[in-house]
Amino acid sequence: MFFLICSTGYVKAQYAYFPTEGTIMYDKTIHVKNLLKRHISTLNDDDWSTKYFEELMQRVNETTVLKKRLSFRGNEMSFESVKETYDPIINNLLRQGLLDYQGTLYQDLSKSVSRSSFDLGGSSILLKDSLLNVKWKITNEYRSIAGYECRRANGVTLDSVYVVAFFTDQIPTTAGPGTVHGLPGMILGLVVPEQHFNIYATKVEFNQPTLASVTEKKRDTPMSRKEAQAKLKDLMGRWMSEQQFNLMIAAMFL
């Protein structure tokens, strides 16, 4: 009898299913008022934007939720926004890139290639670079997300941006909702305190997904993160404080 139980356990472990392709839906919750407060804290005392943000804070809800979709197949993944209807204030903040850039991301993890595209001020921005570097420290804290037992890891990326991730090794693709990656499994939960958002998986489906593509148009000039930062610094740095510019860039690259 003991041999039978052990044998059955061995067979189940031997045939454990580790999916290599599928689709994951996420809810991204942005603490809008806290984020606007953060922007105000980065402004110069005489900045005209202060009054603008303070007026917005009187009219917006505390939080808003954006729908996101991650598709993965082998070592490839894509991440994109799901079209939703938002109130006019949220739509305006989205157009300005203050809440989310609503971009499309594609990554080939085996080749360390990352491509993303989004609109900024009516202009198309195309980023093409290596994968983002994240320094991780895995902890012994666990949380259940979308039916999966996930382990917590604390990370630092973009020199000083602190992130908290919850990953599951039951989905072996080392990706996540955005450019943050590099853990031994899929990231189903991500918190970025500096950007005042968290994003958690709500549904996991194993299927044959169609990955969103990031195509280069003739007028687009692909830029690395370093090149994009230098170009935007030249365009916007004259009327933005250093802190506000860094806050914007971090949101763009994550």
What is the distance between the alpha carbons of residues 212 and 124, in angstroms, rounded to a whole number?
A: 17
What is the distance between the alpha carbons of residues 246 and 244, in angstroms, rounded to a whole number?
A: 5
CB 30 within 8 A of CB 94: no
The torsion of the CA quartet 157, 160, 164, 166, rounded to 10 degrees, works out to 10
Q: Give the closest residue to 207 by CA, choosing from 73, 25, 75.
A: 73
What is the distance between the alpha carbons of residues 59 and 154, in angstroms, rounded to a whole number?
A: 34
Which residues face 104 on adjacent strands? 117
Query: Chain-centre distance of CA 211, in angstroms?
Result: 16
Distance between first and last Cα of the chain? 54
E strand or H helix that includes residue 31: strand 21-31
pLDDT tens digits for 59-78? 999 999 999 999 999 999 99
Whether residue 4 has pLDDT greater than 50: no
Pairing of strands 148-157, 134-145: antiparallel
E strand or H helix that includes residue 144: strand 134-145
pTM value surpassing 0.85:
yes
What is the distance between the alpha carbons of residues 190 and 145, in angstroms, rounded to a whole number?
A: 11
pLDDT tens digits for 116-168? 998 877 778 899 999 999 999 999 999 999 999 999 999 999 999 999 999 99
pLDDT at 95: 86
The chain-wide mean pLDDT, for the chain, equals: 88
Across 3-7, 172-176, 178-182, 210-214, least confident range: 3-7
Helix (H, G, I), strand (E, B) or coil at 115: strand
Percent residues over pLDDT 70 in the chain: 90
The three-point CA angle 24-29-32 to 5° equals 155
Query: Chain-centre distance of CA 177, in angstroms?
Result: 4
Average pLDDT over residues 29-48: 85
pLDDT at 227: 93
Percent residues over pLDDT 90 in the chain: 63
pLDDT at 16: 57
DSSP string covering 192-210: EGGGTEEEEEEEEE-S---
What lies within 8 Å, CB to CB, of 182 at 6+ separation is: 131, 134, 136, 174
What is the distance between the alpha carbons of residues 59 and 83, in angstroms, rounded to a whole number?
A: 23
Average pLDDT over residues 10-25: 68
Across 131-145, 172-186, 212-226, least confident range: 212-226
Tokens of 172: 């072996």
